[in-house]
Amino acid sequence: MFDDTMWAFGRASGIVDLVLLTVAVLGGILTRSGRPLPGIPRFALSLAHRNVSMLAVVFLVLHVATLLLDPYAKLTIADVVVPFAGAEKPFWLGLGTVAFDLLVAVVATALLQRAIGTKAFRAVHWLTYAMWPVAVLHSVFDGTDGTDAWFVVGTVLATAAVLAAVAWRLSHGFLETQSLRGPDRLRAPQRPDAELRRVS
Amino acid sequence: MTVEAMVEPESGAIGVDRLLAAGPDARWAQHATRFGALDAAAAAPTLLAELEASGLGGRGGAGFAAWRKLAATLEAGRRPGARPVVIANGSEGEPLSHKDATLLRHAPHLVIDGLLAAAAAVGASDAYLYAAEPGLEAVRAAAAERADAARIRFVAAPDAFIAGQATAVVNAIENGVALPRDHTRRLSESGLRGRPTLLHNVETLAQLALVARYGAAWFRAVGTADDPGTRLVTIAGDVALPQVLEVAGGTRIAEVLRAAGADTSRLAAVLVGGYHGAWLPADALDAPLSPAGLAPFGAHPGAGVLLALDRTRCGVEATAGIVSYLAAQSARQCGPCRFGLPALAETWNRLAYASHDSGLAARAWELTDTVDGRGACAHPDGTARMVRSAQRVFADDLRLHAHGGCARAAR
Amino acid sequence: MTRLDPRGASPDAPVPAARLHIDWTRCDGRGLCTELLPELLDRDEWGYPIARSLSDRSDVPVPPELEQAALDAVTLCPVIALRLTRR
Ligand code: SF4
Ligand code: SF4
């Protein structure tokens, strides 16, 4: 009975986490654009992105912890950190481990931004774009519900949303300030000769 | 105009030979004959008091009392473990100014004396001299002539307008990048690698070397009560003999200009203090070249640059050219400076050359207010000051330009 | 010695306890601080914060009642361009 509960919670927390990660990624892209949403100012979006990301970490820890306690899952502490060494479906489980490691890196550097500087923070934050698809693959192929119709539909929708957001991210004019600071505005005038022009 | 084109400094009718008294290209022999050696350690205990009594103002641009920085560095140097540093700044990024280059070439030993005296007074273990070539080479050669200058380290300044901004100097010495840095504390508290740092212009230090030798009373014997001593002035633009002159404090601007062969009755305006300075109208040239004398005009001697503008030239065009130059010299680190100065330059160029648009003047005002005070260094502030003075002094010309005419062409 | 820069606060103005320092070399004009401190900051035409006063625009005086909002801005600035200083 206890084991069943563990198993069920492990599954549910994994699915919830996938939703949270998706929202966090979409929110992160929106935040980076610098744009507010109607009725939601920038700082609130930024705050929401941070909080959802933290919540994703919490659920990920729950997901991993319950499966550690669950005898069916046959998960060891080593599997949580070291990818592709698991007993069952080592590759698909390994992807989960990779996603876990990446998320820990991304969130830890985000929390430490002040200490490590914005450049390092940014460099590691790019890993999010690797973390999310890896997490999706793990849930589809390692998850119990991975091939259920509802899960597939949800995953397709989420993937479409993230792909659309990434396409927007890469498009010209993604940054709110881009139009204000367009290339024509950047054209610095040439250095005039220090000699002044004589008029007549 | 190049340094080569400048007339060699000499004492004309108003010239005062103090800094340059050892003669042109003074080596150690001439320096020692004229001034004698300076015992920096012996001068140190009384230097702060003498400096305060002398009333010497900084000669690098901002013009703050020289003793204040020294006192602040001394104070910060009392922190346990603090190892104060002294830096002589001779980078002179201002293209109109040649007085630091002139000083470094003709009186390098006086600069070294000042640097060592300041170092002794604040208990600095390290001393740096930061300047562009060829001035740097001149001081390096001079330092090789004497034993006490062995610990001075020489750092080359790039030829960029903002390379002389205080935090850019520190950054250049620390990281080899002559870009200004963000700062919330004064350099005297936290400068080079967080150490208390005394940064003075090379002329300030040369003057300090004279105060250390001869005392405050001697220093004040020349100049006026509110502008004691002498200052080096670069006279450029529409004068017969562009040159660097050493003049007594409080000398009238017209007199200085005439010493360089200017016909002051032919001038439309004079830019005082360089590209970050302020335009002075022709009818104000009787003002003394001193902080107090120029204050009513929103101007300041700055680094001692006078740019004469003949009345056949257009002040609006001249200003547009300067703003364009300043915009191109932005380090492009700070948004308002990076975007604001080019926008301001574009507006001024259109005011000068293009259009009959009466909205341009308002746009120029707006942009000036936008950039002012919003950068890691004083570049936007200095640009705003110069532009505001142009808006005052060339108000009539600007009105004519707005209607497509230019007053100068008609004269 | 006359001040070169006449924009400083007048000597008899009350000294504010806190100031919001803007590191212009970092600020990317993302506008979060402007939303949190509309009383003190506006946005310029390129998106960068601009103090509503004409002086101390890189070290904006923060009245006590806005200190919390200023702290929020410091925490939420995505590029750590803000700092609350006391003098
Ligand atoms: S204010 Fe301008 S010149 Fe100064 S550091 Fe910033 S970008 Fe560079
Ligand atoms: S929140 Fe930070 S980056 Fe955004 S405008 Fe304010 S200071 Fe600049």
Claim to verify: residue B204 and residue B66 sit in the same structural domain: yes
**Is C36 near ligand 2, meaning CB less than 6 Å away?**
no
Claim to verify: residue B251 and residue B125 sit in the same structural domain: no
Phi, psi for residue B395 in degrees, rounded to 5: -60, -45
> Which phi-psi region, left, alpha or beta, contains residue B388 (left: φ > 0; alpha: ψ -120 to 50)?
alpha
Answer whether residue B173 is part of any domain: yes
Q: Say if residues B197 and B171 touch (Cβ distance below 8 Å).
A: no
What is the domain-level CATH number for residue B304?
3.10.20.600
The mean pLDDT of A113-125, rounded to a whole number, is 95
- Predicted local confidence at residue B394, as pLDDT: 95
Q: Which two tokens stand for residue B7?
A: 């007339």
- Predicted local confidence at residue A183, as pLDDT: 58
Determine the residue of chain C that is closest to B297 in CA distance: C4
- Predicted local confidence at residue A161, as pLDDT: 97
- All residues of chain C having their beta carbon less than 8 Å from the beta carbon of residue A114 are 80
Claim to verify: residue B110 and residue B157 sit in the same structural domain: yes
Answer whether residue B12 is part of any domain: no
Determine the residue of chain C that is closest to A179 in CA distance: C46
Last residue of a domain, one of B310, B330, B351: B310
- Given a cut of 60, whether residue A189 has pLDDT beyond it is no
Determine the residue of chain A that is closest to C83 in CA distance: A114
Answer whether residue B372 is part of any domain: yes
The mean pLDDT of A158-186, rounded to a whole number, is 85
Give dist(CA C57, CA B331) in Å, integer: 19
Last residue of a domain, one of B194, B220, B246: B220
Alpha helices in chain C (DSSP H): 32-36, 67-76
- Predicted local confidence at residue A76, as pLDDT: 84
Of B96, B345, B409, the CB nearest to A194: B96
Shortest distance between the Cα of A200 and any Cα of chain B, in A, equals 6
| Residue linked to tokens 């892209």 | A29
**Residue-number span of the structural domain to which A37 is assigned:** 2-199
Report the number of distinct structural domains present in chain B: 3
Smallest-distance ligand from the CA of C48: 2
Check CB contact under 8 Å for A177 and C36: no
For the segment B221-269, what is each residue's pLDDT rounded down to a tens digit? 999 999 999 999 999 999 999 999 999 999 999 999 999 999 999 999 9
What is the domain-level CATH number for residue B65?
3.40.50.11540
Answer whether residue B106 is part of any domain: yes
Claim to verify: residue B88 and residue B190 sit in the same structural domain: yes
For the segment C46-85, what is each residue's pLDDT rounded down to a tens digit? 999 999 988 899 999 999 999 999 999 999 999 999 999 9
Question: Is residue C8 very low, low, confident or very high in pLDDT (cuts 50, 70, 90)?
Answer: very low
Shortest distance between the Cα of B310 and any Cα of chain A, in A, equals 9
CB-CB neighbours of A181 under 10 Å: 18
The mean pLDDT of A29-40, rounded to a whole number, is 94
The mean pLDDT of A41-58, rounded to a whole number, is 96
Answer whether residue C24 is part of any domain: no
Check CB contact under 8 Å for C2 and B291: yes
Shortest distance between the Cα of B344 and any Cα of chain C, in A, equals 13
- All residues of chain C having their beta carbon less than 8 Å from the beta carbon of residue B276 are none
Strands laid side by side in the B243-248 sheet? B243-248, B230-237, B305-310, B267-272, B278-281
Spacing, Cα A131 to ligand 2 middle (Å): 28
- Predicted local confidence at residue B30, as pLDDT: 95
- Given a cut of 70, whether residue A174 has pLDDT beyond it is yes
Answer whether residue C18 is part of any domain: no
**Residue-number span of the structural domain to which B282 is assigned:** 230-310
Answer whether residue B2 is part of any domain: no
ipTM computed for the complex: 0.88
Answer whether residue C3 is part of any domain: no
Shortest distance between the Cα of C65 and any Cα of chain B, in A, equals 23
Question: Is residue A71 very low, low, confident or very high in pLDDT (cuts 50, 70, 90)?
Answer: confident
- Predicted local confidence at residue B304, as pLDDT: 94
Answer whether residue C72 is part of any domain: yes
Query: If you average pLDDT over every residue of chain A, what do you get?
Result: 86
Check CB contact under 8 Å for C72 and A34: no
**Residue-number span of the structural domain to which C41 is assigned:** 31-86
Claim to verify: residue B166 and residue B251 sit in the same structural domain: no
Ligand 2 closest atom vs CA C43? 5
Mutate to test the pocket of ligand 1, among B325, B332, B374, B383 (most ligand atoms within 8 A of CB): B332
**Is B384 near ligand 1, meaning CB less than 6 Å away?**
no
Last residue of a domain, one of B272, B290, B310: B310
Claim to verify: residue B292 and residue B358 sit in the same structural domain: no
Question: Is residue A1 very low, low, confident or very high in pLDDT (cuts 50, 70, 90)?
Answer: low
Report the number of distinct structural domains present in chain A: 1
- All residues of chain A having their beta carbon less than 8 Å from the beta carbon of residue C31 are 34, 42, 176
Spacing, Cα B180 to ligand 1 middle (Å): 7
- All residues of chain A having their beta carbon less than 8 Å from the beta carbon of residue B315 are none
Claim to verify: residue B214 and residue B356 sit in the same structural domain: no
CA atoms within 13 A on the CB side of B223: 28
Report the number of distinct structural domains present in chain C: 1
Claim to verify: residue B43 and residue B95 sit in the same structural domain: yes
Of C26, C35, C46, the CB nearest to A41: C35
In the predicted model, residues of chain B with pLDDT beneath 70 are: 1-15, 355, 407-411
Answer whether residue C82 is part of any domain: yes
What is the domain-level CATH number for residue C63?
3.30.70.20
> Which phi-psi region, left, alpha or beta, contains residue C47 (left: φ > 0; alpha: ψ -120 to 50)?
left
| CB contact residues (below 8 A), chain B span 151-170, against chain A | none
Phi, psi for residue B267 in degrees, rounded to 5: -90, 140
Claim to verify: residue B156 and residue B171 sit in the same structural domain: yes
